[in-house]
Each structure stands twice: as C-alpha cells, then as structure tokens.
C-alpha cells in the first residue's frame, strides 16, 4: 500500500532556552549542516555556539511563537491535514530535527499498512543541509526499522511549472493593492563550500556569476543554480522589468563565506539607492518560520526603514494556500496512480 511522508526542518518544542539548545544541538551537529570533522564540529557547536545562541534564538522565537506552537510546525500540520483531505492514500508529517520525528512518521504510515512511501522534503531547492540530510536519515531508519518499505523521493521542484505558477500567483495576490518599487527574492543561504561539495562534476560550480547560467548536470544538486532559476521563472511569469528585482541570501552563521549577496546588506543598499517601497519574497521556505517572520518580517523591515525606506512588505510563504494544497494533492495522486510526477 502507498503513503506519503512530508518532511520539514523542525522547530524547538518550546521557546524555553533549554528546548532551543536541545534543538540547535541536534540541528547543528548534523554533518550536512556544519560539515566539519566530528571533533571540530563538536568544539564549534557544543564549545562555542551553544553557549550563547540558544538564549538569543529563544528570544527571537518568542517574538513569532503562536498560541498553538511553532508557526513552522503548525503550518506544516495544516498542510498535511488539508492534503490528506484531498487524496486517498495516507499522508503523515515529520520533522528532520525535533518532533514529530521521521521515525514516528514512518511508524504512523507502517501502522496503516503502508510499504511504499513517497518522501516529500518540503524544500523547493535541493541542498545538502536540507533535502539530502532528510533522505539520508530516512534511508538509515528504513534499513534499521522498516526493511520491507520502499521509498520514492520527490525531486526538487524549484522549476516545476505548478510550483512556479502558485508562487507567482501568491506574489501577485499579495502585491495587487500595494504600491511597490522593487521585489527582493531572499533565499536561505548556505556556505559556499556546500555548493562545491554537492557538485557531482567536481569542477562546474565556481560560484563566479557564470556557472549557474551555463547548463550542467551539476545543477541537479546546485542550490545556487536552483534559487536563481526559481527567481528567473517567477520573473518571467510575472513579467517583471529588469532593475525591479534581484536575488539575495539570508541567515548566515559563522565566519566562512556564504552565498552572496547577503540579504541584510542588500536591503540596506536598496534603501540607500532610494527604493522606498520594498517587497520581499522567501521562496526557499514553503512554510513561514523564524527566518521569514522574524529575520525578514521584523529585522529586515526595521533595517529598511532605518536606512530610509518607507514601506516594507514581507510576502507570506505558500503555507496552506488552496492552490498549493491542490498542487501537492495532484502530485500525490499522480504518483499513487503512475509512480511518476510530471510537469
Ligand atoms: C550552518 C548553519 C545552517 C545552514 C547551512 C542552514 C541551511 C538551511 N536552513 C534552512 C531552513 C531553515 N533554517 C532555519 C533556522 C536555522 N538555520 C540555522 C542554521 C543553518 N541553516 C540555524 C542556527 C537556525 C535556527 C535559528 C537561529 O538560531 O537562527 C529555519 C527556521 C526553523 C523554525 O523553527 O522556524 C528554517 C526553515 C534552509 C532552507 C537551508 C538551506 C538551504
Ligand atoms: Fe537554516
Ligand atoms: Fe553554479
């Protein structure tokens, strides 16, 4: 019997710094997130980051937390429930870090008799720190606990016509009655090193401005290419004029070079260049979360206004929009009927 597991990143169980510390420990000790040898990673995470970050992150989480819990978890639950209402196979939800775990999601499906699972990492663009770590952990759990199960992986959908259409529509809906001058596409950043590690050709990704535009098999796993391609396709769909949009990368951590341009600097530069009405869309996330609600919606807005901007519009993620639910339900139905998902 077939079933589906949606997997998102995860959040702490509460905004208590102790829970935030536990969550960050699991998250940052992942070798695909902080990709250093174990001893160095343990020193960086347990010896340095976890001494100060949990308190700071807990304060940020407190600003966005809902009565029902973490926005990312609540919105992912709504997504799972609404897709479940539209499809005939069981749909479960799991988080890569924290709860509900991938093991509990697979157990829920196994208890319903599922032995063929469509794994859906809830990330439009592939990254080692997101999609890959989900697939690797799910496979480890499958081998140990559910050896009779088989998996199909939903490929990154950054350029899927359905996804581009609903993302474009969500932007158009949000901006239709607003006066805006510039649309910034802000994606979660990753260290540049991650891009090179995921390059299957071992030579294509130079992060030089040209490689991501030059066709290559490396792009199947190039987060940077996939982000620029999402932007390009949405720009084409919406008919945006050159000079009214750009792409940037947010949420960097540590001293290594991360993908540039950085969102915080870009927001400031745009205000200094005279942009008064700025809209920001965050297509690396399908559910609103700390990085969209606090980093963009609060910090980003403050930076923009302080630098001379007037109006700042943070465009919500796809969350549980009906057209997005319909797209996911259609992909699930199509896979359940044919084993394939096509454009
Ligand atoms: C080395 C550190 C990090 C990498 C690499 C990274 C990649 C990455 N993350 C997301 C999506 C999300 N990240 C979120 C929070 C978050 N991310 C990092 C660090 C890295 N992320 C940290 C330390 C945190 C926690 C909060 C903080 O202290 O700032 C979230 C939000 C979670 C929530 O509960 O709301 C998401 C979602 C992507 C897509 C990505 C690479 C492409
Ligand atoms: Fe992150
Ligand atoms: Fe590239």
- Is residue 186 a contact partner of residue 249, using CB atoms and an 8 Å limit? yes
Q: How is the chain split into domains, by residue range?
A: 2-157+322-338, 161-314
Q: Which residues pair with 7 in a beta bridge?
A: 94, 121
- Is residue 219 a contact partner of residue 155, using CB atoms and an 8 Å limit? no
- Is residue 82 a contact partner of residue 293, using CB atoms and an 8 Å limit? no
E-assigned strand segments in the chain:
2-8, 91-95, 116-121, 150-153, 182-188, 245-250, 277-281, 311-314
E-assigned strand segments in 73-129:
91-95, 116-121
Rounded Cα–Cα distance for residues 94 and 234 (Å):
29
Asked if 2-157+322-338 and 161-314 have one fold, the answer is yes
Rounded Cα–Cα distance for residues 172 and 315 (Å):
10
Distance of CA 106 to the CA centre of its chain: 21
Q: What is the pLDDT, as a whole number, of residue 254?
A: 87
- Is residue 27 a contact partner of residue 141, using CB atoms and an 8 Å limit? no
Task: Give me 145's structure tokens.
Answer: 């606990």
| Pocket residue to mutate for ligand 1, from 12, 100, 188, most atoms within 8 A of Cβ | 188
Residue nearest to atom 13 of ligand 1 (CA): 291
45 lines ligand 1 (CB under 6 A): no
The β-bridge relationship of strands 277-281 and 182-188 is parallel
The number of the ligand 1 atom at minimal distance from the alpha carbon of 223 is 42
Query: Of the bound ligands, which one is closest to the alpha carbon of residue 134?
Result: 1
> In CATH terms, is domain 2-157+322-338 a member of 3.40.50.1400?
yes
280 lines ligand 1 (CB under 6 A): no
The number of the ligand 1 atom at minimal distance from the alpha carbon of 191 is 5
Query: Of the bound ligands, which one is closest to the alpha carbon of residue 285?
Result: 1
| ipTM score for this prediction | 0.96
CATH number of 161-314: 3.40.50.1400
In angstroms, what is the span from residue 113 Cα to ligand 1's centroid? 34
C-alpha R_g of the chain: 20
Residues of 283-310 as b/e, b for ≥16 C-beta within 10 angstroms? bbbbbbbbbbbbbbbebbbebbeeeebe
Rounded Cα–Cα distance for residues 338 and 324 (Å):
21
* Nearest residue to 329 via CA among 170, 10, 337, 288: 337
Residues of the chain with pLDDT under 70: 343
pLDDT digits (tens, 9 = 90+) for 104-125: 999 999 999 999 999 999 999 9
In angstroms, what is the span from residue 164 Cα to ligand 3's centroid? 20
Rounded Cα–Cα distance for residues 261 and 248 (Å):
5
296 lines ligand 1 (CB under 6 A): no
In angstroms, what is the span from residue 338 Cα to ligand 1's centroid? 34
Residue nearest to atom 40 of ligand 1 (CA): 188
Residue with tokens 């949405």: 234
Q: What is the pTM of this model?
A: 0.97
Rounded Cα–Cα distance for residues 57 and 75 (Å):
20
Q: Across all residues in the chain, what is the average pLDDT? A: 97
* Nearest residue to 268 via CA among 250, 286, 293: 250
Residue nearest to atom 15 of ligand 1 (CA): 291
* Nearest residue to 157 via CA among 124, 118, 123, 119: 124
Name all contacts of 180-183 with Cβ < 8 Å and 24+ positions apart.
Answer: 180/277, 180/278, 180/279, 180/311, 180/313, 181/244, 181/275, 181/276, 181/277, 181/278, 182/244, 182/245, 182/246, 182/270, 182/275, 182/277, 182/278, 182/279, 183/240, 183/244, 183/245, 183/279, 183/280, 183/281
Q: Which residues are annotated as a binding site for Fe(2+)?
A: 188, 291
Query: Of the bound ligands, which one is closest to the alpha carbon of residue 13?
Result: 1
Q: What is the pLDDT, as a whole number, of residue 343?
A: 61
């Amino acid at each position: 019997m077939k079933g589906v597991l949606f997997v998102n990143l995860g959040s702490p169980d509460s905004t208590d710094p102790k829970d935030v510390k536990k969550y960050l420990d699991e998250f940052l000790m992942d070798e695909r997130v902080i990709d250093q040898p174990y001893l160095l990673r343990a020193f960086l995470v347990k010896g340095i980051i976890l001494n100060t970050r949990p308190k700071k992150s807990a304060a940020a989480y407190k600003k966005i937390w809902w009565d029902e819990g973490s926005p990312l978890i609540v919105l992912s639950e709504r997504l799972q429930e609404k897709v479940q209402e539209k499809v005939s196979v069981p749909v479960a939800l799991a988080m890569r870090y924290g709860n509900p775990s991938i093991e509990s999601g697979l157990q829920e499906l196994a208890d319903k008799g599922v032995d063929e699972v469509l794994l859906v990492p809830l990330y439009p663009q592939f990254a080692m720190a997101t999609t890959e770590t989900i697939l690797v952990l799910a496979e480890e759990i499958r081998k140990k606990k559910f050896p009779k199960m088989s998996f199909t992986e939903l490929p990154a959908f950054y350029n899927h016509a359905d996804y581009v259409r609903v993302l474009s529509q969500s932007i158009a809906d949000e901006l239709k009655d607003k006066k805006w001058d510039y649309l910034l596409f802000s994606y979660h950043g990753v260290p540049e090193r991650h891009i090179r590690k995921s390059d299957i050709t071992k030579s294509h990704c130079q992060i030089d401005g040209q490689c991501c535009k030059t066709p290559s098999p490396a792009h199947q796993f190039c987060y940077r290419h996939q982000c620029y391609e999402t932007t390009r396709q949405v720009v084409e769909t919406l008919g945006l004029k050159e000079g009214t949009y750009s792409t940037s990368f947010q949420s960097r951590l540590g001293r290594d070079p991360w993908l540039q341009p950085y969102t915080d600097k870009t927001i400031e530069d745009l205000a200094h260049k005279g942009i008064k009405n700025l809209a920001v869309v965050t297509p690396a996330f399908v559910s609103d979360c700390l990085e969209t609600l606090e980093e963009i919606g609060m910090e980003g807005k403050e930076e923009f206004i302080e630098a001379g901007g007037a109006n700042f519009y943070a465009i919500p993620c796809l969350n549980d929009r009906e057209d997005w639910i319909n797209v996911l339900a259609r992909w699930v139905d199509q896979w359940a009927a044919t084993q394939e998902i096509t454009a």
